[in-house]
Amino acid sequence: MDCLAVKAILSRVDALEMQHGEAEQSHAEIDWLGRAWLADGSLSPADATRLSAQIAGLMDLYRRHIAIEEGEVFPVAAAEIGKSEHDAMGGEMAARRALR
């Protein structure tokens, strides 16, 4: 893979990392609104609108995110890394998920 292609894919990976931060913020807002709804038995119209907007935004973010991962990043990674690197990445991802 040439240097320009590597830079392009790394740029996409950087964008994905930024999206992880955006997703965390949305999840936190959704969690807060959901807990408020459960505690009070209802949400104000403004909070209900905020909740709907956050959920829709998160769904859109994940659709775009997954499309980039599966359509661009993962195919390049699969072609460029060996089995041991692949297994190490899978182990790291599993460990991160276990911490949540």
3-class DSSP state of 43: coil
Tens of pLDDT, residue by residue, the chain (100 residues) = 777 888 889 999 999 999 999 999 999 999 999 999 999 999 999 999 999 999 999 999 999 999 999 999 888 888 888 888 888 888 888 888 887 6
Q: Which of 18, 20, 16, 13 lies closest to 76, judged by CA?
A: 13
What is the widest separation between alpha-carbon atoms in the chain?
A: 57
Assigned token pair, 68: 């980039």
How far is Cα 11 from Cα 38, in angstroms, rounded to an integer? 41
pTM for the whole structure:
0.75
